[in-house]
Amino acid sequence: MNDDSVRVDERLVVRSRAEGTADLRFDITSFPGVYLTVGDGVTPRFAFPVCGCDACDEDVADLQRMLTELVEAVVGGTFTEFVDGDHVGHVLDGGSGEQMSWQLIPAVTRDERSGPYRRTYAPWPVRSD
């Protein structure tokens, strides 16, 4: 689903008031699906489903688990995004253990994402009410 031709129908931004935490931007798309952008947006947006074609037939329960683990890692302070040379990526420590993903930075965006850069976001504070 990572296609710039997909129309965003609705956007929801969830943010903590605490310093050093990452915002969560959910874009509900015409696909149908969800894009999630985290924090400074250094890491490319996450797509749920990733592809969406009939051949891939992504399992909704798996997509729900992956989205939940990603949000929990961000809110729990275990999400890190990084730029290292020509690579951009993220590390998260979710319910199924530590996961890492990276990709080459397209030449068009290399100047915008100059490295090295590494940021682990602070955990969101727990509400007391």
Q: Break the chain into its structural domains and give their ranges.
A: 8-120
DSSP states of 46-75 as a string? EEESSS--TTT---HHHHHHHHHHHHHHHH
Residues pairing with 102 in the sheet: 89
What is the value of pTM for the model shown? 0.80
Helix (H) and strand (E) counts in the chain: 1, 8
pLDDT in tens, the chain (129 residues): 556 678 899 999 999 999 999 999 999 998 879 999 998 877 778 889 988 777 888 888 999 998 998 999 999 999 888 887 777 888 887 656 666 676 665 544 545 555 677 888 999 998 877
Q: Residues, the chain, total?
A: 129
DSSP 76: H
